[in-house]
Copies of this chain bind each other. A is one copy, B any other.
């Protein structure tokens, strides 16, 4: 007999299961776009130690668009140069390096290390800033039903999930609460991928206590519930791939070591394997340590007794590989062990209502330092799409691009991981270093997120040969908007485009207005803005054509201009009205007109944006940036019809009585 409280039944537009980095990224969009949403997590608290820590420059750019990059920069540890240590054949280790990418300055931000717990904190703060959405912790999904009959009804709630609050027994307080200053060595293995799924056990324990349940009906479900994803299992999507026979230990320690590069990113190679060294905040260092192969530890069937891996054993391995340098520690903040393997789901979505993100659909070795980044970018990608569709602003068809865009990236991630992980067990010193640099360079644009590799879809109007249009050669649809530091025309303040292109849910038409000192160019700009704002016949003009994000923005499209004239030779009030919208209470909006001109008081603002974008400084160009800062379309200033066609394929037009 079920307890009485099963009668509690609620509706929500979007249900997110799992409040790790990918779930929180998705939730950010719900908060930002005013979506009726819920987010639950079986864990009683957020993580505080260990887990993922690597932040690639693209992820930091996205943080800037959300508004908390400065907090990461204040606390995190930068890791740019890498050193490779190899044996010299005489019992010594010698340094090869430092190696630094020649492309390091292509982002405003450098790769950083900061533990997942802080990132979750910053995301939670952003969610709170924009909404009342709270993570419901200690809550687990128990049953799932899908009602096909309302699948096609945009107002329908085809998903039914029963949620159960975990009992204290199933969710012991403090389980994951090792504090930041923990000085004792942790006594057990933290959840690595060697641990079995505990979902069923947690439910059983809680059922026995007749804990509170709730039936939720949802329009959309986003499963961000990790490698053992319950959501994925409900929709019968497998995780395909294989596991190798290599077992690795991971430790976060405050090292006591005379190894010269213990505070620098790098590898240390020994006949029996290679250690990856990753310096972190608060004097901690993370080490990835090859521990053993399964053959050596168990019978031929490949079973593995995880109780055999201890912190002492991992320490012993480090000492052996670091020799003749010393290695020890008193403080271990976190440790775990994992079995190398690559698994990926064949699809990241089920129909047009259910989506899976992060570890739920791709697992791999953590050594490439990309897991949290890819997971967050998954959540970022599906989040805005579901939010805009749920808000009635975008067509449901765009949801299909999630799988198309992210699955390909996940495959590249696994490919990178296979190449990279292999290097840690194969090859000798010299060639290993060369191979490592080669692999890093091969995957660099992908790993840093400088290229997104998003293919053609209604959201990405690619040209042949994957190039930008002649008017904006480096503005490639499907890729990120190349970051530049700009001056605001009205007040002269500086801003990176990563922050300027704020993640607020809107598409952005970026008018690269060219040299507006010339009468011709001024006129082209005027004609363009008139086309964008005024009705020209039966259909509404671009800015009056589409349904709003109700409660957030009257128009789902923001328009900004970036001109190339010197800052002092142009006046704000000379720009067309749609670039300085007027409100009788708030006055003019000043933050839509920007300038690509060098500024003497900031070396990063060098006036070379047009050059970086491949845009003619006189003639300019036009670009549509998606809500996630990726370029959707690029063309010339007069191509309003083409622009409109692009947007018509994505956004929902106002109905007759609303708009025209």
A residues apposed to B, CB below 8 Å? 67, 70-71, 73-74, 77-78, 80-81, 98, 100, 104-105, 110, 183, 254-258, 260, 263-264, 279, 283, 329-331, 490-494, 568, 571-573, 584-588, 590, 600-601, 603-604
**Would you mind naming 19 contact pairs between A and B with Cβ atoms under 8 Å apart?**
A67-B74, A70-B73, A70-B74, A78-B493, A78-B494, A98-B492, A100-B600, A104-B600, A105-B600, A105-B601, A183-B585, A254-B586, A256-B588, A257-B587, A263-B490, A263-B491, A264-B491, A331-B585, A603-B604
Residue of B nearest to A499 (CB): B74
Residues on the B chain within 8 Å of A493, using CB = 77-78
A73-B70, A77-B493, A255-B587 known; A260 vs B601 contact (CB < 8 Å): no
Residues on the B chain within 8 Å of A110, using CB = 601
Residues on the B chain within 8 Å of A584, using CB = 256, 330
Residues on the B chain within 8 Å of A70, using CB = 70-71, 73-74
For the complex, give the distance between the alpha carbons of A256 and B584 in Å.
Answer: 8
**Interchain CB contact (< 8 A) of A573 among B254, B258, B279, B568:** B258
Contact assessment for B491 and A77 in the assembled complex, using a CB-CB cutoff below 8 Å: yes
Nearest-CB distance from A602 to chain B (Å)?
8
Of A73, A571, A600, the most chain B CB neighbours within 10 A belong to A600
Query: What are the 6 tightest A-B residue pairs by CB atom distance, in nearest-first order?
Result: A263-B491, A256-B587, A263-B490, A330-B585, A603-B603, A104-B601
For the complex, give the distance between the alpha carbons of A330 and B588 in Å.
Answer: 12
Residues on the B chain within 8 Å of A77, using CB = 491, 493
Residues on the B chain within 8 Å of A183, using CB = 585
Residues on the B chain within 8 Å of A255, using CB = 587
Contact assessment for A331 and B492 in the assembled complex, using a CB-CB cutoff below 8 Å: no
For the complex, give the distance between the alpha carbons of A361 and B491 in Å.
Answer: 35
For the complex, give the distance between the alpha carbons of A330 and B582 in Å.
Answer: 13
Residue of B nearest to A74 (CB): B70
Of A73, A584, A587, the most chain B CB neighbours within 10 A belong to A587
Contact assessment for B98 and A568 in the assembled complex, using a CB-CB cutoff below 8 Å: yes
Contact assessment for B492 and A264 in the assembled complex, using a CB-CB cutoff below 8 Å: yes
A77-B493, A264-B491 known, 17 other contacts, Cβ within 8 Å? A67-B74, A70-B71, A70-B74, A78-B493, A98-B568, A104-B601, A110-B601, A258-B573, A263-B490, A263-B491, A263-B572, A263-B590, A264-B490, A283-B587, A330-B585, A331-B586, A603-B603
Task: Give the oligomeric copy count.
Answer: 2
For the complex, give the distance between the alpha carbons of A604 and B602 in Å.
Answer: 9
Residues on the B chain within 8 Å of A587, using CB = 254-257, 283, 329
For the complex, give the distance between the alpha carbons of A486 and B92 in Å.
Answer: 31
A80-B601, A98-B568 known; A491 vs B585 contact (CB < 8 Å): no
Residues on the B chain within 8 Å of A600, using CB = 100, 104-105
**Interchain CB contact (< 8 A) of A260 among B254, B573, B586:** B573
Residue of B nearest to A325 (CB): B573
Of A73, A256, A590, the most chain B CB neighbours within 10 A belong to A256
Residues on the B chain within 8 Å of A104, using CB = 600-601
Contact assessment for B492 and A81 in the assembled complex, using a CB-CB cutoff below 8 Å: yes
Of A81, A110, A254, A494, the most chain B CB neighbours within 10 A belong to A81
Nearest-CB distance from A483 to chain B (Å)?
14
Residue of B nearest to A258 (CB): B573
Residues on the B chain within 8 Å of A492, using CB = 78, 80-81, 98, 264
For the complex, give the distance between the alpha carbons of A548 and B633 in Å.
Answer: 64
For the complex, give the distance between the alpha carbons of A110 and B600 in Å.
Answer: 12
Residues on the B chain within 8 Å of A585, using CB = 183, 254, 330-331
For the complex, give the distance between the alpha carbons of A80 and B494 in Å.
Answer: 11
For the complex, give the distance between the alpha carbons of A260 and B593 in Å.
Answer: 14
Residues on the B chain within 8 Å of A331, using CB = 585-586
Residue of B nearest to A574 (CB): B260
For the complex, give the distance between the alpha carbons of A492 and B113 in Å.
Answer: 14
Residue of B nearest to A183 (CB): B585
For the complex, give the distance between the alpha carbons of A572 and B329 in Å.
Answer: 19
Contact assessment for A283 and B586 in the assembled complex, using a CB-CB cutoff below 8 Å: yes
For the complex, give the distance between the alpha carbons of A492 and B98 in Å.
Answer: 11
Residues on the B chain within 8 Å of A601, using CB = 80, 100, 104-105, 110
For the complex, give the distance between the alpha carbons of A588 and B260 in Å.
Answer: 12
For the complex, give the distance between the alpha carbons of A283 and B591 in Å.
Answer: 10
Nearest-CB distance from A181 to chain B (Å)?
11
For the complex, give the distance between the alpha carbons of A339 and B224 in Å.
Answer: 62
Nearest-CB distance from A277 to chain B (Å)?
11
Contact assessment for B73 and A260 in the assembled complex, using a CB-CB cutoff below 8 Å: no
Residue of B nearest to A255 (CB): B587
Nearest-CB distance from A261 to chain B (Å)?
9
Residue of B nearest to A77 (CB): B493
Residues on the B chain within 8 Å of A494, using CB = 78
Residues on the B chain within 8 Å of A490, using CB = 263-264
